[in-house]
Amino acid sequence: MERSNLAAVQEAHARTHPHDEALVDGALRLTHSQFAQRIAQTAKHLRTLGAGPGVLVGVALGDHATHVIIMLALARIGAVLLPLDHRWTPGERERVATHFGAALALVEPCQAISGTPCVEVSEKWPDTVSQCAADPVMAPGGDAPLLVSLSSGTTGRPKGPRITHAQFLARFRTHWIDLGFVAQDCFVCATPLYFGAGRTFVWSTLYAGGKVVLAPPPFDPPALLDTLAREHATTLFLVPTQLRRLLAEHAGAAPLKRLRLLFSSGAPLTREERRAIHAELNAYFCEYYASTEGGGVTLLKPADIDKHSDTVGRAIHAVDVEIVDAHHQPVSPGTVGLLRYRSPGCAIGFYRDDEASQEAFRDGWFYPGDLAQLDAAGYLTLAGRAKDMIIRGGINVYPEEVEAALQAHPAVREAAVVGMPSVDLGEEIAAFIVSDTPVEDTVLRDWCAARLAPYKVPRVFRTIADLPRNTSGKVQKAQLKTML
């Protein structure tokens, strides 16, 4: 099974526990037997549309059961999935589909992609599929490509690693070993299926034989709590913005406390947030540092949160982590440098982009572009993106350090720090603040001055309603720079 097609295990689940539920989407509740049948029938239909081994198929669909079924049906027939966010503008969808050369795209009604053959997946799609016989063919898995997943923005030059069936199975293995995913789990998916973490944890749960319940955006905390209680959920993944809302509005809620696992990724949390989530939302909270290219990297376990809450934990199963200098030589513990890591689940390059591949993939290691440091015990602390590092008067300033200081202020809900041009110093520090109550710049400046070296104190403060984010929850700092 380890070298098989990712979708093959669904037929095994249909034989061994056919009546257990696999996928829940509102009123639709599919058993493992029904789920495997839908996948096989959808695979047959996709073949009639021109999908097949090695064919790159764009998927720009909403967060519903048909989306999950289509992804596994594409895997079954050996097609290569290109996730496209249906929330993008038509221009963004066209740009990415054209750049990667999608031969076909499956889209929501009235969301055709210019220049790419498209098929609308409407409410009638399940009826159409039900008329198909099950496709008896299971394409090879192993080193066959499964997915090209966007790892940078839709503007400029999009980048996407090509990930194989075997690499995804290696990632699943870390979920079972480090996160404890099992067949008895009920995973509630409250993030977009386009988002790499949401999609991957859905697949991982289904591969293990568990149940997935879709609770898609927009994020509605009361509705989520009702779903957790009704479905007897055991595992839940949320991004930091969702966790912050729960902390503000629903700390102590029983459905959250009953979870076997609450975990987060996508963007770093502050030390205070990690401790508050652990204490007020769920005692089994973990932070999982991961990337599109490499999968999981480190895990901050519940037992480590009190003593190591400044970090994102230690390397997970089968992952090697190092910090190196500009010459790719390992540095001593406690020194900030470039992060690199390698694992069986890590991609080996970007699809159709040799130049970017040579920059990010080197000697078997992947360089995500993060600055970080490792302590002597192996705990990893992120210092920000290398491209976001601010050089003020020749001195390196790491934005995350300044952001953490600002977010410790009781009036500051969120903060993002960027560099701005300076004639005298090359770059100056600008801080964008999301505040629950008005706070003067002088107050924030004094707050930072009491906690940071003088050269790290922001010169400019801007209060805004919300930080611009992409669908994975990461702050879009390029947009902030245009606002200065």
CA distances from 84 to 105, 111, 145, 206 (A): 9, 12, 17, 22
Residue with tokens 């050089």: 391
146 HSE (CA, 13 A, CB side):
26
Q: What is the CA radius of gyration of the chain?
A: 23
Please list the residue range(s) of the chain that carry CATH number 3.40.50.12780: 9-318
Q: Which amino acid belongs to residue 211?
A: K
> Which tens digit of pLDDT belongs to each residue from 194-228?
988 889 999 999 999 999 999 998 899 999 999 99
Q: Which residue has the higher pLDDT, 4 or 30?
A: 30
68 within 8 A of 121, measured Cβ to Cβ = no
Write down the pLDDT at residue 240. 85
Lowest mean pLDDT among 230-234, 277-281, 455-459: 455-459
Q: Which amino acid belongs to residue 388?
A: D
Distance CA 194, CA 472 (A): 9
Number of other CB atoms surrounding residue 1 within 10 Å = 10
Over 80: is that where the pLDDT of 424 sits?
no
Number of other CB atoms surrounding residue 234 within 10 Å = 21
Please list the residue range(s) of the chain that carry CATH number 3.30.300.30: 394-483
Q: Does domain 394-483 have CATH number 1.10.3080.10?
A: no
> Which tens digit of pLDDT belongs to each residue from 80-134?
999 999 988 898 899 899 999 999 999 999 999 999 999 999 989 999 999 999 9
Over 60: is that where the pLDDT of 3 sits?
no
Residue with tokens 């440091």: 373
Q: Does domain 9-318 have CATH number 3.40.50.12780?
A: yes
Q: Indicate the pTM of the whole model.
A: 0.86
Number of other CB atoms surrounding residue 229 within 10 Å = 14
The confidence band for 2, taking pLDDT boundaries of 50, 70 and 90, is very low
Distance CA 317, CA 333 (A): 21
Burial 176-215 (b: 16+ CB within 10 A, else e): eebbebeeebbbbbbbbbbbbbbbbbbbbbbbbbbbbbbb
* Residue 351 token pair: 């699809």
345 within 8 A of 174, measured Cβ to Cβ = yes
214 within 8 A of 206, measured Cβ to Cβ = no
Residue 6 buriedness (CB in 10 A; 0-12 / 13-18 / 19+): buried
Residue with tokens 């609770």: 215
Quick check: bond before 218 cis, omega within 30?
yes
> Which tens digit of pLDDT belongs to each residue from 284-321?
999 999 988 999 999 999 999 999 999 999 999 999 99
Distance CA 428, CA 139 (A): 55
Write down the pLDDT at residue 154. 64
> Which tens digit of pLDDT belongs to each residue from 343-360?
999 999 999 899 989 999
